[in-house]
Amino acid sequence: MTTGVTTRGGRQRLTPAAVLHDSRVLAARQLRKTLRRPTYIVFSFIQPVIFVLLFRYIFGGAIDTGATSYVNFLMPGIIVQTAIFGALVTGLGLTEDLGSGVVDRLRSLPMARSAVLLGRTAADLVMNVFTLTVMIAVGLLVGFRPTEPAWRLGAAFLLVLAFSYVFSWISAWIGLTVRNPETAQSAGFIWVFPLTFASSAFVPVETMPGPVRTFAEHNPVTLVVDTVRGLTIGAPDPAGPAVQAVAWLGALLLVFVPIAVRAFRRA
Amino acid sequence: MYTYTESPPCPVEAEGLTVTYGKITALDGLSLRIEAGTVVGLLGPNGAGKTTLVKVLSTLLRPTRGTARIMGHDVVRDPLPVRLAIGLAGQYAAVDQELTGRENLEMVGRLYRLPRAEARRRAAEVLERLSLTDAADRRVAGYSGGMRRRLDLAASLTGRPPVLLLDEPTTGLDPRSRQELWAIVDELRDAGTTVLLTTQYLEEADRLAQRIVVVDAGTVIAEGTPSALKAGIGTDILRVRLPGPAGLPAAAELLTDLAATGTEVVTDRVTGELTVRVSRPDASVEALRRLDRQGVDVTAVQLTQPSLDDVFLSLTGRTAVLEEAR
């Protein structure tokens, strides 16, 4: 009666096509829910825009970025930060669904359980595409001038999205582990500030004291930001950081996807 | 490969289910069998293990020990066909506020991987069945509590499951919504659905279930038809109302020897009411005769069968939890 089921080892299982189908249904559900909260959307756009304006016009004059203008230096950093912030809603949303009983309902249906996480992270990724597009437009308005060819800009955008996707899974794991929306809110944000500020996102790492600088240089945020800078404004050379950034993303996914799925099974 | 057995599989069976969380034992070797097409009321106070049992049966929770099968499928080893066979409506209305009633149900239909048109048809069908058609295209955020519960129940019916698990479906509902829900459960049973319903309301179990299973501390302490359980107590309750408290002591004195062994006459000075557990079939006639002979004014006399509250009290020696739940 139901499609997408095969029998293997005496047990009925869902096919990969069924997993994909269920994920799409749940991603559509999430996007539709978000679109029904226009004030939420407006504020999620306003916050990054305010960050751009604050850094560009308040800190900008005091930060020396050498030959590169501060707005060109800043935009790759703030885009990456926004991508991370945008991913933090994943965990928060999951704790809400746990609390309302929706997750129990979904888990009692003959659907793929992994689709709850796959659908949710996909929907958050789509929302991030919109947020980042708005940010880039604001960046261009306040003087951001990418110099590189279109394919490099496209590659930079894809890298940022991949980064945001990875952070959705980290956020999902945190949310499913703490389970409570308020705790998820603060637990989800605390670690993000040191991670983004102790990086090359807003200031050159060369100005940081010894241990912080060492941390910042190996911080995946720095590696992604440096790659994006290389791909948009031509400096530094993106090849080195790109390899390391992609390695980080792969490693983080390998760790956080399984533990988030396990936390979901237990939640 | 499908093997046909002589008789159709038992809709719900559990054997020695035990669930422990750390030091807490939520289920303690619970066994249960539900015959096809019946409504079984699982009755017990808060913390008795009702919700834990529903979670195990709906594959949300793995038991620490013991087995459970739905339509012959093991809930741990083969959860997918179990999920196809059950509909679950929990204590919360597990629906999306931002979506309309119809959208919620179409999504559930799509998660059964029904084709889009079929999901739409099913949604319309269950909305109609639960009298939600008029509200179907409004967002759930504007629904009343009763409507949300009905939508939640509608969601659990979308897959046309042969087994329905309802965990305290009427908790927190107003009397009218409760009655509406009861009528729906009756209809479902008439249509052949097997229903396991947990409740703290004795009246509800009495009203809906053909068989009642009383649970306490994670295990079954009694089961049977509502009338068999009541008969097990063996006493009826005689209530005599006087015009005021003045005549109570004298009346109590007169009726003392009618009280069943081990019970006493209870008087209530506020209501002027006197309650006696009686085992004689002619107790009410005898009581009236005695009171009349001694010239005690009587406003009303009522002889009632024991309620399930009384059953629970006599089984566990406790009633407080149930009073609180009311």
- A/B interface, count of CB pairs below 8 Å: 85
pLDDT at A266 over 90: no
Residues 6+ apart with CB under 8 A from A9: none
Cα distance between residue B149 and residue B160, in whole Å: 18
Query: B219-224 and B273-278 as β-strands: parallel, antiparallel, unpaired?
Result: unpaired
Residue B165 is predicted with a pLDDT of: 97
The interaxial angle of helices B226-233 and B308-316, nearest 10 deg, is 60
**Confidence band, pLDDT 50/70/90 cuts, at residue B167:** very high
Residues 6+ apart with CB under 8 A from B208: B39, B41, B182, B185, B186, B195, B197
Contact between chains at A102 and B96 (C-beta distance less than 8 A): yes
Comparing CB atoms, the residue among B77, B83, B92 nearest residue A108 is B83
CB B232 within 8 A of CB B200: no
Listed residue (B70, B326, B313, B305) closest to B178, CA to CA: B326
Supply angle C-alpha A242, A246, A250, rounded to 5: 170
Helix (H, G, I), strand (E, B) or coil at B282: coil
CB A18 within 8 A of CB A4: yes
Residue B324 is predicted with a pLDDT of: 41
Contact between chains at B112 and A2 (C-beta distance less than 8 A): yes
Comparing CB atoms, the residue among A1, A12, A36 nearest residue B80 is A12
Can you say how many angstroms the Cα of residue A68 is from the centroid of all Cα atoms in its chain?
A: 26
Residues 6+ apart with CB under 8 A from A32: B98, B99, B103
Query: Could you state, in order of their start, the residue ranges of all structural domains in chain A?
Result: 47-110+125-266
CATH architecture of the domain formed by B12-230: 3-Layer(aba) Sandwich (3.40)
Residue B232 is predicted with a pLDDT of: 72
Is any Cβ of chain B less than 8 angstroms from the Cβ of A112?
A: no
Cα distance between residue B221 and residue B304, in whole Å: 24
Tokens of A52: 């751009």
CATH of B235-305 among 3.30.70.100, 1.10.1740.10, 1.20.210.10, 3.40.50.300: 3.30.70.100
CB B287 within 8 A of CB B301: yes
Show residues of chain A in contact with B1, CB under 8 Å.
Answer: 7
The whole-angstrom distance between A167's CA and the closest CA on chain B is 25
Listed residue (B206, B193, B132) closest to B166, CA to CA: B193
Residue B323 is predicted with a pLDDT of: 42
CA dihedral B302, B305, B306, B308 (to 10 degrees): -120
Burial B59-88 (b: 16+ CB within 10 A, else e): bbbebeebbbbbbbbebeebbbbbbbbbbb
CB A139 within 8 A of CB A225: no
Comparing CB atoms, the residue among B86, B94, B98 nearest residue A104 is B94
Can you say how many angstroms the Cα of residue B43 is from the centroid of all Cα atoms in its chain?
A: 6
Contact between chains at A107 and B60 (C-beta distance less than 8 A): yes
**pLDDT tens digits, A129-147:** 999 999 999 999 999 999 9
Query: B194-199 and B163-167 as β-strands: parallel, antiparallel, unpaired?
Result: parallel
**pLDDT tens digits, A162-189:** 999 999 999 999 999 998 888 888 887 8
Residue B4 is predicted with a pLDDT of: 59
The whole-angstrom distance between B18's CA and the closest CA on chain A is 18
Query: B194-199 and B39-43 as β-strands: parallel, antiparallel, unpaired?
Result: parallel
Burial A9-27 (b: 16+ CB within 10 A, else e): eeebebeeebbebbbebbb
**Of the given ranges (B24-33, B46-55, B220-229), which has the lowest mean pLDDT?**
B220-229
Residues B281-292: what's their mean pLDDT? Answer: 88
pLDDT at B1 over 60: no
Show residues of chain B in contact with A100, CB under 8 Å.
Answer: 92, 94
Q: B147 or B313, which is more confident?
A: B147
Residue B6 is predicted with a pLDDT of: 63
Residues A82-108: what's their mean pLDDT? Answer: 92
Listed residue (A184, A183, A186, A226) closest to A205, CA to CA: A226
- What are the distances in angstroms from CA B26 to CA A4, B37, B61, B218, B305? 35, 28, 12, 5, 32
The whole-angstrom distance between A93's CA and the closest CA on chain B is 12
**CB proximity under 8 Å: A 8-27 to B:** 10-14, 18, 21-22, 25-26
Residue B313 is predicted with a pLDDT of: 74
Whether omega for the bond prior to residue A110 falls within 30 degrees of 0, making it cis, is no
Residue A22 is predicted with a pLDDT of: 96
Residue B166 is predicted with a pLDDT of: 96
User: What is the value of ipTM here, to two decimals?
Assistant: 0.88
Show residues of chain A in contact with B56, CB under 8 Å.
Answer: none
Query: Could you state, in order of their start, the residue ranges of all structural domains in chain B?
Result: 12-230, 235-305
- What are the distances in angstroms from CA A170 to CA A111, A173, A230, A260? 24, 5, 26, 7
Is any Cβ of chain B less than 8 angstroms from the Cβ of A62?
A: no
- What are the distances in angstroms from CA B218 to CA B26, B48, B319? 5, 5, 17
The whole-angstrom distance between B155's CA and the closest CA on chain A is 9
**pLDDT tens digits, B69-121:** 999 999 999 999 999 999 999 888 899 999 999 999 999 999 999 999 999 99
